Structure 1
């Protein structure tokens, strides 16, 4: 597996801490003090800065830091046909903290009209970087899992199978839309597979009348349909996340419950796996990874604290993982984004950049 193709030996999950000028501009926009065009000018300016910083550090995959978003998922999903956002009664519950009150629901037939704000976001990124522009969007499973049956209009979808079929086809059109815009590195961010590893979350699924094991097969089928027609030179990866809001999390549990389905049935080119804490379990589930087929990006550098990891300790963990999947199929990255929502995690910008620089240095040492 060559080093100059995605996912790269040193890679990045995507989101970055919002800068002070961006935070100020977004707050002023919310108060009605500046126009959307004025906000965009600040976004463009700040994105150019972080692109230059990523390139200077040595990253080959470059993102826009999700600087135009409030949420890693809602902003994208609300742009699909048939999906609406709304002010919910309460936010999403994390470990000891709750997000802003926001939700999404399916109110009509799902579809992709061919236009979406994030297509334009990608075009700006592509035109601004000299490296590989990487786009991140939520996985299709996220739209279903968050609210389940109760968040899907029963008149439009009295049965669930047509809903899953339409969702898969919608995402097939989404992938085509990004491909047509020149995207050759697309990442699907997916919390659901990690939730299916959590006993607490699996119980929640069962309590609302759904079978966790069946959902894994449904999600695998949807994702495979969505990516089936991607261009031969387009890489599609998936980031498996346990929740990331203000340095907290939602789910715990190793990958064993889903490993055989995830690595054996989902036709993704690479998986970004969180391995920064004991919550992720051991490397044993990597035995199901197909030899020579997929890259596994080990999230060994945490984005939840500012303390910089010891490079030798990270290298030892890479060696441990190599007992289950060949070293040539491995890469390294932070375990998640630094700001899955605009609030960001509890670390400083300088600490964020130090962690990304460490990731590049480790990759250079390990893979020469």
Structure 2
């Protein structure tokens, strides 16, 4: 495995999703029922994205996203746009600490294939066209991991209807991601984030992979995940930043739970990402910073973007407490390999977390202020 060069230099960042304005939330329903046309919806979405980007820049962010305003769910919409994938209404359900998420499910109606007309490409072109000078655009898409699970935690569970072997299915997943990422690069993207809450999925009871009898199954799945991600990154241009966000789920300010990073550190240290966005807003649930040392030894180029500021509640973290945690992490890995962000996005689904937009921006402000003071820089680079 080729070790990538250090190229992620941001000391603060956002995970990617933002609370949707009420006009956009209404538009999702209106376009679905035919009350407004697709063109009218696109105009509403573009206006919302333009306003968001202006606010991101005004709050000091040097990396901006479109807030994931182009989707109602952080991962389903991307996968649904691929060729060979069919939407199953209300076919996906998960319980988030008592909050039940019911969303569209997915199944294959043919072999999985790259979609040259995927709507995410057009959405990025618009984002790219409104970027202020000196600002980096980031696109978030799900990692391939959810496509690999079988059983109760599967996102697509009928791949055997179209594939004679697991190896053929994995080969098509790899091809889809390589072609998709290459197209984003051709359009001007230089920073992509593969969101991967499923990476902690092997630790969840709902995945049904606990117990000694499942050790071989878990090991095989982890090998598939590592191999796919290594090949995706290795085949991409060297100047494309790859980040990942690994969380415990996020819906209406509730999580799925799951193990700590220590439970999957043997996987993380094999993933050649430029940046790992990692949740650390709940020390009891998230564990300590020790796993960072093991990942750093294997991936010395990687920056660990510490998600110390929660998006699950409006209460603001004290800046001194955040600085103390950053310096605590700096005893494990060098400060140059650390950054700061919120623990997750603000709206993994269109519903969003239990905060107001004003509270959302207060959260981003404390991230920016804390990072600038901690790294003694008045910009995002060293």
Please classify the TM superposition score into its range, dividing by the shorter chain length.
over 0.9
How many Å apart are 1:59 and its aligned residue? 0.4
Q: Distance in 2 between matches of 1:218 and 1:346?
A: 36
For residues 6 and 107 of structure 1, do their structure 2 counterparts lie closer, same or farther at Cα, with a shift above 3 Å needed? same
**1:184 matched residue in structure 2:** 190
Q: 2:351 aligns with which of 330, 337, 343?
A: 343
Q: How does 1:29-40 map to 2 (within 5 A)?
A: 29-40=31-42
How many Å apart are 1:205 and its aligned residue? 6.6
**1:314 matched residue in structure 2:** 322
How many Å apart are 1:203 and its aligned residue? 3.7
Secondary structure, aligned partner of 2:288: coil
**2:222 matched residue in structure 1:** 216
- Which shows bigger deviation, 4-13 or 281-290? 4-13
How many Å apart are 1:7 and its aligned residue? 5.7
For residues 199 and 113 of structure 1, do their structure 2 counterparts lie closer, same or farther at Cα, with a shift above 3 Å needed? closer
Q: Distance in 1 between matches of 2:156 and 2:251?
A: 25
Q: Distance in 2 between matches of 1:150 and 1:21?
A: 32
Q: How does 1:139-288 map to 2 (within 5 A)?
A: 139-145=143-149, 147-148=153-154, 151-196=157-202, 198=203, 200-201=205-206, 203-204=208-209, 211-263=217-269, 265-277=270-282, 278-288=284-294
For residues 322 and 25 of structure 1, do their structure 2 counterparts lie closer, same or farther at Cα, with a shift above 3 Å needed? same
Secondary structure, aligned partner of 1:72: coil
**TM-score normalised by length of structure 2:** 0.90
Secondary structure, aligned partner of 2:96: coil
For residues 159 and 208 of structure 1, do their structure 2 counterparts lie closer, same or farther at Cα, with a shift above 3 Å needed? farther
For residues 89 and 180 of structure 1, do their structure 2 counterparts lie closer, same or farther at Cα, with a shift above 3 Å needed? closer
For residues 293 and 88 of structure 1, do their structure 2 counterparts lie closer, same or farther at Cα, with a shift above 3 Å needed? same
How many Å apart are 1:26 and its aligned residue? 2.3
Q: Distance in 2 between matches of 1:268 and 1:287?
A: 15
**2:368 matched residue in structure 1:** 360
How many Å apart are 1:201 and its aligned residue? 4.9
Q: Distance in 2 between matches of 1:11 and 1:71?
A: 21
How many Å apart are 1:129 and its aligned residue? 1.5
Contact 1:284 1:324 in 2 (8 A): yes
For residues 210 and 46 of structure 1, do their structure 2 counterparts lie closer, same or farther at Cα, with a shift above 3 Å needed? farther
For residues 366 and 225 of structure 1, do their structure 2 counterparts lie closer, same or farther at Cα, with a shift above 3 Å needed? same
- Which shows bigger deviation, 345-354 or 226-235? 226-235
User: Which aligned runs of 4 or more in structure 1 are off by greater than 3 angstroms?
Assistant: 4-7, 146-150, 201-210
The answer to whether the aligner puts 1:135 opposite 2:143 as a matched pair is: no
Contact 1:74 1:85 in 2 (8 A): no
Q: Distance in 1 between matches of 2:92 and 2:154?
A: 16
1:51-76 deviations in Å (ceiling 9; x for gaps): 00000000010000011211000100
How many Å apart are 1:90 and its aligned residue? 5.7
Contact 1:111 1:166 in 2 (8 A): yes
Q: Distance in 2 between matches of 1:53 and 1:9?
A: 19
**1:48 matched residue in structure 2:** 50
Secondary structure, aligned partner of 1:92: strand
Q: 2:128 aligns with which of 123, 126, 129?
A: 126
Contact 2:12 2:367 in 1 (8 A): yes
Q: Distance in 2 between matches of 1:239 and 1:360?
A: 19
Contact 2:8 2:302 in 1 (8 A): no
Contact 2:15 2:341 in 1 (8 A): yes
How many Å apart are 1:85 and its aligned residue? 1.6
For residues 149 and 116 of structure 1, do their structure 2 counterparts lie closer, same or farther at Cα, with a shift above 3 Å needed? closer
For residues 7 and 31 of structure 1, do their structure 2 counterparts lie closer, same or farther at Cα, with a shift above 3 Å needed? farther
Q: Distance in 1 between matches of 2:246 and 2:264?
A: 11
